[in-house]
Amino acid sequence: MPEIFNMLIASFIPLLFILIYAVVILWVEIKVASHVQDRLGYMYTGGFHGIAQPIADLLKLLTKEHITPANSDKIFFTLAPVLVFASSYAAYAALPFTSTFIAANLNVGIFYIIAITSFVVIGILMAGWSSNNKYSLLGAMRSVAQIVSYEIPTVLSILTVVVAVGTLNLQEICEIQKGGISSWNIFKYPPFMLITFLIYFTASLAEVNRTPFDIPEAESELVAGYHTEYTGMKFAMFYLAEYANMFLVSGIAAILFFGGWSSPFGKFLSSPGWGVFWFVSKGLFFVFLQIMLRWTLPRLRVDQLMYVSWKVLTPISFVNLMMVGLWAILK
C-alpha cells in the first residue's frame, strides 16, 4: 500500500512542477519578448508587472468553449492533445531532479526518454489529420517530417555522450559529473563535446518546434499549423506540452553536458535541496536561450530545414561520434 502511495507522489511531483513552471515561463516569455521589442508587455494584472497575467490567461482558456469541427474525426481530435501532453509528461519520469529524487530510476533512462517523446509525433499527426483542415494537415506533415529528421542528430549527439560516460542511466551520468565545473561533460574530449552540445541544442530546437525551426506552426503561412482548429483547454494542452518539451530538452542538455543537479562548485552547496536548484536553474537558462532565439531569428523554409538536418548536423554528429569513440578507446 505505501508503495503505491509513494509511486503516486513520485508521479505527481513532475506534474506539479510542469504546471508551476508553465505559469512562470508564460510570464517570462511575454516579458522577455516585450523587452526585446522595446515595450513593456503585461503591466496591470496582479500588480507588479502583470505577474498574475498567466493565471488569468489559463482561467480564460479553461472557460473557453470546446469547438469540434463538424467533419473532424472526433475521437482522434480529442485524443491528440492528451497524447501529446502525456508523452512529454511521461518523459519527466526519468529526469533526475536531484540526487535523491527521480520518479523512475531506469537503467536505460535516456533511451526511455527518446522513445517516449517520439509519441509526440503521433499526437501531432493525429491532430493535423483529424482536424480535416488543409492548413492543419500541412502543418502536421511538416512537423512529422521535421521531428523525425531531427531525431537522428539528437540521438547521435546523445549517443556521443553515452559513449563518453559509459551509461544510459541519467542519475549515473549526473554522478559522474559531480566534481564541480571542470568535470562537466562539455569540457571532456575538447572540442568534440562542445560540438556535440551545439548539435544537440540546435536539433532540440527543431524537436520542440521553436524558432528558427517553428515551421509546423508558422502563423504567417499555416495560420497555426496542426492546432489551428483547437480551442479552449485542448489548445492549452498543446501549449502546455510545448513548454513542457522546452524544459525537457533543456533539462536533458543540462544533465548530459552541464552536470545536471551537481553543483558547479564541487562539494560546496551540493545537498539534495541545492541539487533541485542547480538542475532547475540550468534547465531554465536553456529555456531562456530558446526564448531569446525565438524573438531574434526569422524562420527557415521546409527544404532548408531538411538541408540543415541531413546535410549538416547528421554528418557532423557522425564524425563527432567516431572521434569521441576513438578517443575513448585509446584512453
Q: In the bound complex, what is the minimum distance in angstroms from residue 298's beta carbon to another protein?
A: 4
Phi, psi of 98 (to 5 degrees): -155, 180
Specify the residue, 72 or 228, whose C-beta has the smaller distance to another protein. Answer: 228
CB 258 within 8 A of CB 282: yes
Q: In the bound complex, what is the minimum distance in angstroms from residue 206's beta carbon to another protein?
A: 13
Residues forming contacts to another protein in the complex (CB under 8 A) are: 33, 36-39, 134-135, 138, 211-212, 214-215, 218-223, 295-304
Specify the residue, 3 or 38, whose C-beta has the smaller distance to another protein. Answer: 38
Q: In the bound complex, what is the minimum distance in angstroms from residue 224's beta carbon to another protein?
A: 9
**Secondary structure of the chain in HEC code, one letter for each residue:** CHHHHHHHHHHHHHHHHHHHHHHHHHHHHHHHHHHHCCCCCCCCCCCHHHCCHHHHHHHHHHHCCCCCCCCCCHHHHHHHHHHHHHHHHHHHHHCCCECCECCCCCCCHHHHHHHHHCHHHHHHHHHHHHCCCHHHHHHHHHHHHHHHHHHHHHHHHHHHHHHHHCCCCHHHHHHHCCCCHHHCHHHCCCCHHHHHHHHHHHHHHHHCCCCCCCHHHCHHHHCCHHHCCCCHHHHHHHHHHHHHHHHHHHHHHHHHHCCCCCCCCCCCCCCHHHHHHHHHHHHHHHHHHHHHHHCCCCCCCHHHHHHHHHHHHHHHHHHHHHHHHHHHHHC
Q: In the bound complex, what is the minimum distance in angstroms from residue 320's beta carbon to another protein?
A: 23
Specify the residue, 18 or 138, whose C-beta has the smaller distance to another protein. Answer: 138
Specify the residue, 99 or 146, whose C-beta has the smaller distance to another protein. Answer: 146
Specify the residue, 47 or 298, whose C-beta has the smaller distance to another protein. Answer: 298
Q: In the bound complex, what is the minimum distance in angstroms from residue 37's beta carbon to another protein?
A: 4
**Cell numbers describing residue 131:** 482536424
Amino acid at 171: Q
Spatial neighbors of 312 by CB under 8 A, at least 6 apart, are: none
**How many whole angstroms separate alpha carbon 77 and alpha carbon 16?**
26
Specify the residue, 216 or 260, whose C-beta has the smaller distance to another protein. Answer: 216
Q: In the bound complex, what is the minimum distance in angstroms from residue 194's beta carbon to another protein?
A: 21
Specify the residue, 75 or 219, whose C-beta has the smaller distance to another protein. Answer: 219
Specify the residue, 203 or 218, whose C-beta has the smaller distance to another protein. Answer: 218
